[in-house]
Chain A
Amino acid sequence: MAVRTYLQAISDGLREEMRSDERVFVMGEDVGAFGGAFKVTDGLLEEFGAARVRDTPIAEAGIVGTAVGAALAGLRPVCEMQFGDFVACGFDQLVNVAGKMHYRLGLAVPLTVRLPVGGGFSGGPFHSQNPEAWFMHAPGLKVVAPSTPADAKGLLAAAIRDPNPVIFLEHKHLYRRVKGEVPEAALPTPMTARIARPGEDLSVFAYGAMVHTALEAVSELEADVEVVDLRSLVPLDEEAILASVRKTSKALVLDEANATCAAGAQVAALIADRAFEDLDGPVRRLATPDVPIPFSPPLEQAVLPGTTRVKEAIRELLDY
């Protein structure tokens, strides 16, 4: 196994899917000669040519909508939103066209939309969002959010091979910061949760960059805390969540997204509904308050959940 960054793993995953399936192609703003704003598609143009590595107009509805058409015609488009925030401009095509297509008309839409998401580096209100909950609420869309290089590659393969539209959240703050061993083979990762760190006393549920925040926080504590990496938000691995809570009896749910109706709210509701008898304390949530992500570093750090606040929340819940 090779050690790759999260970004390299996504890039490898794209390349391998394109090599093994000629129906797969990428499209987006500046994905060709420039290699994408974050260089995820760097080198693909040279290997696969301009027909399969398509620079598009700045038109997110156009990108998603034409990809739906290409998917209906039997291709496997992978769209890049330059920043996840911009998917708002293609929202209607995802929610009303792609997401409802199979239920209404029996037509599969095998489409992957890559969203570089998340904050932590002064991206400001239009380059830092975590819009996963918008899509969790829209029937017919799958939503995945890897935290490790191996899962980034594996979940991308799973997304591309899935016959449904899949929102693939890749956290920008993990791109070059996180490295790990990645299998050479193109093995799809199942859309299920993973135990990132086993423990007995408390469960932390997280996905994407918050998995690393949780692991860092736990490593600084003298406590036997389990960290569950959700990996997939739709489908949500309910049994894995419930099994962890039944073991530890305490649950802390983390979101980097804004708190209201976030993925973590769904997890908390699930636990309250189906694991109430197993709980030995309230289900606690830690998320970004309902504000746009501010630019200035002290302001941004004040809203994004960091290790200090995660540690405090764990300690409080352990003491409950």
Chain B
Amino acid sequence: MESFDRRAGELLSDDDRVGLLRQMLLMRAVEERGNALYKQGKIPGSFYDGRGQEAVSVGATWALSGADPVCSPLIRDLGAHLVKGTDLTQIFQHYMGRENALSHGREGNVHFGDKGVGVVGMVSMLPDMMVVATGLAMAYRMRAEQRCALTFFGDGATSRGDWHEAMNWAGLDRLPVIFLMECNQLAYSTPSARQFARDPIERAAAYGVHATTVDGNDVEAVFVAAHDARERALAGDGPTLIEAQTFRMHGHGAHDDARYVDPGLIAEWAARDPIDRYSARLTERGLDVTGLAEDVAAEVAEAVAVALTAPMPDPATATEGVFCTSAPAGEQLGRGAERWSGFAAMAQRLPSAAAA
């Protein structure tokens, strides 16, 4: 932990720190509102959140440049979308199955991407998108571009073949890809102990993939690990697996009361809440973060108010768009407006934080 603290001190400005906290607060606020909208019947299907895991997707995505894609954030990784800059109103419209620019109602939950900012949406067959991310990295290597792909997966996903194919492939060709393992201890109801005999860290080494473990509830530690993995990737030193140790605080989805989880374990991890810890740390550092939660709440309220006025999709469009009818002009995955996803770009993105 000490080395992560030291590296964070070298890399992060106070603007970054406030930005990291703000994005974690935003993720929690969006998901709390999402759960409420689900209970009100305004979100169909179910609702999936990443409560207690906010530091993982926010911290890792903060380390990316605007040109580095995320492929793909999973259902606990809303923070990756938020750091990349996807519009909140569109996210709520998507959640509610209303007409929206991200999925046009063809998808729900955190199953969305935003090509304009370089985010490819997930599929439910985990960890398929690890292989796709490896392919993005392969293309960047072929074109000699200084870019790296970030992909997320959970502990359960390490049991499937695509995990092994992606790790082997990326290790073999030393591709610029970051494999971020969100070890939240549970694959739906199955604990990690019933998932594998060997820790994925050990297995990564066998594939020639550099591996490291971080406290997934420490946003700066996750950031530093992702930052260093990116540096390694761009230097040609190949892929990195980051094992972020965290815990799933809610059920698999809003329909799941998680009665199979030991309440003692939940209490233990609640005391390590990434947002509470980081707020205390920044306050201790002398930063004023008292207004952030209120700002974020107002942002969410405004987005929801607009989203609730959006129309439902036209049923006549349900069969449209199965095939692409015109060749995409140039690269499809945009780089967003910023040179960086979050890191070092805070002064432009958050004038209020810069002034703080």
**Residues of chain A at the chain B interface (Cβ within 8 Å):** 25, 51-52, 56-57, 59, 61-62, 65-75, 92-93, 96-97, 100, 102-110, 139-140, 142, 161, 163-164
Contact = CB atoms under 8 A, between A and B. Distances in A.
Nearest to B323: A164
A119 to B, nearest CB: 28
Given A66-B132, A96-B128, A102-B324, 5 more contacts: A62-B166, A92-B162, A93-B128, A102-B322, A110-B327
B135 A73 contact: yes
Contacts of B206: none
B172 interface: yes
Interface in B138-170: 138-140, 142-143, 149, 161-162, 165-166, 168-169
B262 interface: no
A25 B169 contact: no
Residue picked from B104, B112, B125, B323, most chain A C-beta under 10 Å: B323
Given A61-B161, A100-B123, A164-B323, A68 B139 contact: no
A69 B133 contact: yes
User: Across chains A and B, which 4 residue pairs bring their CB atoms closest together, nearest first?
Assistant: A69-B135, A65-B131, A66-B135, A73-B139
Contact of B132 (A59, A69, A110, A139): A69
Nearest to A62: B165
Contacts, number: 142
B328 A163 contact: yes
Contacts of A66: 131-132, 134-135, 138, 169
A97 B321 CA distance: 15
Contacts of A103: 106, 321-322
29 contacts: A25-B142, A51-B142, A57-B165, A61-B131, A65-B165, A66-B134, A68-B132, A69-B137, A69-B138, A69-B139, A72-B71, A72-B132, A72-B136, A73-B136, A74-B328, A74-B330, A74-B331, A96-B125, A97-B123, A97-B128, A97-B132, A102-B322, A104-B111, A105-B107, A105-B113, A105-B121, A106-B104, A107-B113, A142-B323
Contacts of A97: 123, 125, 128-129, 132
Interface residues of B, number: 49
A72 B120 contact: yes
A72 to B, nearest CB: 6
Contact of A73 (B121, B165, B321, B333): B333
Contacts of B129: 97
Contacts of B124: 96
Contacts of B172: 57
Nearest to A100: B123
Contacts of B333: 72-73
B317 to A, nearest CB: 11
B103 interface: yes
Nearest to A73: B139
Residue picked from A59, A67, A100, A106, most chain B C-beta under 10 Å: A106
Contacts of A108: 324, 327-328, 332
A25 B141 CA distance: 14
B40 interface: no
Contacts of B137: 69
